Amino acid sequence: MASDELREQIRIRSRFQNCVNLDEHSLRDIAMHSHVNIKRMAYEHLSILGKSNIFLGGPIDVIYPGSNGPDWFMNRTRQSSITMDLSSSQPSVFVGFIFCAVVARFPSNDKNFVGCDCYLEINGVRDMNMGAWTSINTCEFMCDHVCIWYDERCCMKTSEGMEADESNDMKILFEFFAQTGNTWEKKRDIGIKECGVYPIYDSEYHTFIEELKLNSQLRAIEEEKDDGEAIHLAQKPNQHIITPQPSKTWEKATQGLKDLINL
């Protein structure tokens, strides 16, 4: 596989299934990477969303061991379903949702899926004709796992339903499931311990890009500073040097984000 293709696959799919030896810093890095990476991929396709047959080739997903969803999912619950009220949402073009499900352990040698059914509720009535669903395939889980994904096709269908209705009393219901076996038989036989959704709007695009640029500039400044300190220390060969430990806990937690910006 060519390097460009490999890099693209890493951006689309990052899976750490059953990697139980990952430490807390690594898990936080993975959760933070998923936020930045998925939003970046969604925004990169914003200009052609719904106007072209070019798609992402399937959901972008991140899977890793864990019992709690990332803190950046502001809309989340310890249940298997969640409802979002759209009547008070910001007046902006809807890009899509990032989905999150914390799935309990389930050993299986069959096909495994984690997914979500999406329904619009108009004036308190569920509109079945506007339903959409999304799922990702997984391996067997030997412990709790966090599954995060963005499905362009599902978001397009949901967006079409939202645009078709001008009601002020509109909600969207997300019902999460995890199962083994035939994907068309949605037996909710595996426990969903937590679920969440993160809406993406086009109005956030410029702020998001500016944040990436700022972090890139900060990385360049830090690297230049580190190079200068290394040269300075190299000019003092007779001194006994003890490498200091980082005093700021965020430095280690954000290192992966800085690396990601250069992808």
The pLDDT tens digits for 141-168 are: 999 999 999 887 776 666 665 655 555 6
Nearest to 100 by CA among 118, 76, 132: 76
At residue 243 the predicted structure's pLDDT band, cuts being 50, 70 and 90, is: very low
**pLDDT (average), residues 103-115:** 83
- Cα 85 to Cα 87: distance, rounded to the nearest angstrom: 6
Q: Of all residues in the chain, what percent carry a pLDDT higher than 70?
A: 57
Q: Which structural domain range is residue 223 located in?
A: 209-236+243-261
Identify whether residues 62 and 129 lie together within a single domain: yes
At residue 231 the predicted structure's pLDDT band, cuts being 50, 70 and 90, is: low
**pLDDT (average), residues 115-124:** 84
Residue 251: its pLDDT value, please?
A: 47
Pairing of strands 192-201, 94-103: antiparallel
Whether residue 256 has pLDDT greater than 60: no
- Cα 19 to Cα 17: distance, rounded to the nearest angstrom: 5
Identify whether residues 75 and 195 lie together within a single domain: yes
- Interacting residues of 209 by C-beta distance below 8 A, sequence separation 6+: 43
**pLDDT (average), residues 108-112:** 77
Residue 220 or 74, more confident: 74
Whether residue 198 has pLDDT greater than 70: yes
Identify whether residues 125 and 83 lie together within a single domain: yes
Whether residue 5 has pLDDT greater than 50: no
- Cα 196 to Cα 63: distance, rounded to the nearest angstrom: 15
| 3-state DSSP assignment of residue 179 | strand
Q: Of all residues in the chain, what percent carry a pLDDT higher than 90?
A: 22
Whether residue 191 has pLDDT greater than 50: yes
Decide which of 202, 218, 252 is a domain's last residue.
202
Whether residue 29 has pLDDT greater than 60: yes
At residue 74 the predicted structure's pLDDT band, cuts being 50, 70 and 90, is: confident
Judged by average pLDDT, the poorest of 10-19, 134-143, 216-225 is 216-225
DSSP 170: E
Identify whether residues 217 and 92 lie together within a single domain: no
Q: Render the burial of 179-203: b for 16+ CB within 10 Å, e for the rest.
A: bbeeeeebeeebebbbbbbbbbeee
Identify whether residues 17 and 47 lie together within a single domain: yes
Q: Quick check: 227 and 62 in contact, CB under 8 A?
A: no
Query: SS3 helix, strand, coil % of the chain, rounded to 5?
Result: 35, 30, 35
Q: Quick check: 138 and 64 in contact, CB under 8 A?
A: no
At residue 53 the predicted structure's pLDDT band, cuts being 50, 70 and 90, is: very low
Residue 60 or 227, more confident: 60
pTM flag (> 0.75): no
Whether residue 70 has pLDDT greater than 60: yes
Identify whether residues 118 and 229 lie together within a single domain: no
Identify whether residues 97 and 23 lie together within a single domain: yes
Identify whether residues 160 and 101 lie together within a single domain: yes
Q: What is the mean pLDDT of the chain?
A: 73
Identify whether residues 219 and 183 lie together within a single domain: no
Identify whether residues 147 and 249 lie together within a single domain: no
Q: Quick check: 156 and 56 in contact, CB under 8 A?
A: no
| 3-state DSSP assignment of residue 15 | strand
| 3-state DSSP assignment of residue 148 | strand
Judged by average pLDDT, the poorest of 13-17, 100-104, 203-207 is 203-207
**pLDDT (average), residues 181-189:** 60
Q: How many structural domains is the chain composed of?
A: 2
Identify whether residues 149 and 231 lie together within a single domain: no
Q: Quick check: 144 and 67 in contact, CB under 8 A?
A: yes
Kindly give the interhelix angle for 24-44 and 3-12, rounded to the nearest 10 degrees. 100
Decide which of 151, 176, 202 is a domain's last residue.
202
Q: How far apart are the first and last CA of the chain?
A: 17
**Which amino acid does the sequence have at 68?**
N
Identify whether residues 110 and 197 lie together within a single domain: yes
- Cα 188 to Cα 178: distance, rounded to the nearest angstrom: 6
